[in-house]
Chains A and B, each alone.
Chain A
Amino acid sequence: MATITAPLDRPLEGKRPHINEYLRWSVDHKIIGVQYMVTALFFFIVGGALAMMIRAELLTPALDVAASGQQFNTIFSMHGTIMIFGWIIPMMAGFGNYFVPLQLGAKDMAFPWLNAFAFWLIPPAGMLLILSWFIGPIEAGWTAYPPLSTLFSGDGQTLAALSLHLLGISSILGAINFIVTIKNMRPPGMGYFQMPLFTWTILATALIIVLATPFLAGALTLLILDRIGGTKFFDAANGGDVLLWQNVFWFYSHPAVYIMVLPGMGILSEVLAVHSRKSIFGYKLVALSSLGIALIGFTVWAHHMFTSLTPELRIPFMITSMIIAVPTGIKVFSWLATIWMGKIRFTAAMLFGLGFLSMFVIGGISGVMLATLPFDIHVHDTYFVVSHLHFVLFGGAVFAIYAGIYHWFPKVTGRMLDERLGRLHFFITYVSFFLTFFPMNFAGMLGMPRRVAVYDPKFQTLNVIISIAGFVLGVSTFILFYNMFDSLRHGKKASANPWRALTLEWATSSPPPSTNFIEDPVPMSDPYGYGTTEAEAYLYGQEQQFGPLKPAHFEAALLAAASDDSDPLPEGAGD
């Protein structure tokens, strides 16, 4: 018979930490998680502002907004670098920091001090990156290919490389911490295959980070030596090799794509299962496909170099690049089967989850198209590539982050986000996102090159559509920011488990007390066993412990949709 954590004699009331706690050194993983997320959101605004400048420039075929072509180069280089290294990667690290220990029922990460240290490398790195703008702008794109990055970029390129070094150290230290935490801190009764899927994806991501990031460190070291030490590693005229950079850089940066999207896939597994009240379809395969993606991700790097690669290596890399669609496909079909016949609650989190599913599939398909060699050579370095990467990074990673924010905001802050604003945010974002990035496919196939400020006037109509949709997309972000600020003060109080979820982060108050749990939580053997009598008994037990999960003023529509999981309890289940 099932056992339920005994009701406590004192109420579990978590208090939100004082704002000052977030501004100083803290070893509490929850504080650090929020520090990561707030820092990342700051960079999101900076990177977003740069994106708006790009779109303003491209409204007309002539050079008008940017002072020069060089300045335009700097704008898009900074946009890419900041969005990847300042926004998505730290944001995912923030989710991981906050929720992995909670999902494991642990008090903290394995190395709390190291965790804080890893975070505090990020603000100086971010400052270096932004400073680079002022001392000699980078112009080589986020990929920093030599000779662009060695002969043309200003001194800012060196600063940017140092900044990425710091970020790399930060993410390696963070990843080591995650792996040790997940391997050694699981509670009794939680094997690897009882772990929540978000934790699984963080494990896979951390393995990639530990094994791939050193490549970036190696490449950056050589780049810095070339720039300030007078070496010629990348100078073909002096016995160097420009392809050395491309190989080593992409050996990191292709896996880095999965560093950015795998945690998003984890968030999606949580959100889809919880909000459609269904068990994950093919749990083991979903879990293992994360490792599959991590592994195969190391074998595809040269598809970024189809046009510079030795011809006989093209076909092998085309094949591996297509194979990696298989584990991704497994996940997509599992998610579809998970929501199939589910009792779907169209919360903002769920909407963004579905948004991810649809947009990520488009990005995945254009990815397979790009992996196809003849097609790639046609659209190489055009807006088709820009469309693809934004469909997987914005339609994938960022939509997942949005879903994660709507799903977990109540846990972190103790307040519900406004669902109506959330749905408004979703619809505007979803439509404007599609209208921004989908027409880029046409522009690309018609031959519009990426990374140019001046283009053939025949592309103007498309670019005007893209830019206007892009501005709407930019503005839609502020709905989320307004919602977060407003809900912090005026939002409805969140119960311990407003979504009636079974994973352990919901088995404590919102926000959790500083020790996370008053007493050790007992994990379910199936973290997604919705609709089973055990799950009902567990949720019933939680209501006894924490009071009503669904607040009385919870929106009626959601309540109705969710009502069928409050079936009468089986006899004796609440013992």
Chain B
Amino acid sequence: MAQLVETHGHTHDHESPQAKAENLKFAMWLYLASEVIIFSILIAAFAIFRVRQPEMVDEAREALSISFVSVNTFVLLASSWAMVMGLLAIQKGNNESMVRWIGLTGVLGLTFVLLQLVEYQELRHEGIALYSETAGRFGQRFYPLTAFHGAHVIVGVIWAFIVMFKGIKRQYSPTNYIGIEIFGLYWHFVDVVWIILFTMIYLI
């Protein structure tokens, strides 16, 4: 039996900051879900290649410098840590500290991108192009994958500096830091993807 629901007079609170923060966070998770899928296609393309033509990957690895990339990986991990510290700082109400930590996040992210460009240069000297008859099949799996990730890092760096700028203008508070939180979700995601890529491409 249908009944009208007795909620008359109850006002919607979809406009409240908490509700909006909830919406943003949920939307970010959905966005990351679709990102996971794009990355998994590229990763799968690499994995199939790794299984089918292991010798080509082994050969290419001689050109890759694992220690160099390990340092770069450490830089990205450190930036994630700076991100966490920045979030903790704003939760405690320390705006200046938050600005410094998020700024550090951005700088470390930028360092990662620059070091990756250095690595690309090195590989080019070794003759690994996006496509070439000899080592090309490695290049076409390697560059799109890492460059796509790199593009995400670049977006993250810009985002970090926007957050920092907003922090300088005191737009966040211990009760309103959702902007930092969703940036954090994105940044940690980019970090986790790199750990998977690093393992796939350089280690196993």
Contact = CB atoms under 8 A, between A and B. Distances in A.
Interface stretch (A126-134, A222-230, A257-265): A222-230
B4 A538 contact: yes
Nearest to B41: A218
B130 interface: yes
B195 interface: no
Interface of A: 2-6, 105-107, 110-111, 172, 175-177, 179-180, 183-185, 187-190, 210-211, 213-215, 217-219, 221-222, 225, 229-233, 239, 244, 248, 520, 522-526, 529, 532, 534-535, 537-538
Interface in B67-124: none
Interface in B11-29: 11-12, 14, 19, 22-23, 26-27
B34 A172 contact: yes
Most buried by A among B4, B12, B33, B35: B4
Interface of B: 1-8, 10-12, 14, 19, 22-23, 26-27, 30-31, 33-35, 37-38, 41-42, 45, 53, 130-131, 136-137, 140, 144, 148
B2 A526 contact: yes
Contact of A529 (B2, B22, B33, B130): B2
A534 B37 contact: no
A309 to B, nearest CB: 17
B14 A184 contact: yes
A215 B45 contact: no
Contacts of B4: 2-4, 522, 524-525, 534, 537-538
Contacts of A5: 8
Given A185-B14, A520-B11, A239 B137 contact: yes
B140 A233 contact: yes
B38 A214 contact: yes
B140 A232 contact: yes
- Which A-B residue pairs are the 8 nearest by beta carbons? A529-B2, A189-B5, A218-B41, A526-B2, A214-B37, A231-B140, A2-B4, A214-B38
Nearest to B22: A184
Nearest to A538: B4
Contact of B27 (A177, A217, A219, A239): A177
A211 B26 contact: no
Given A534-B4, A538-B4, A111 B144 contact: no
A184 B3 CA distance: 23
Given A214-B38, A532-B1, A537-B4, 12 more contacts: A2-B4, A180-B30, A184-B23, A211-B33, A215-B38, A218-B42, A225-B144, A522-B8, A525-B4, A525-B5, A532-B2, A534-B3
A222 B140 CA distance: 10
B131 to A, nearest CB: 4
Contacts of A214: 34-35, 37-38, 41
B12 A106 contact: yes
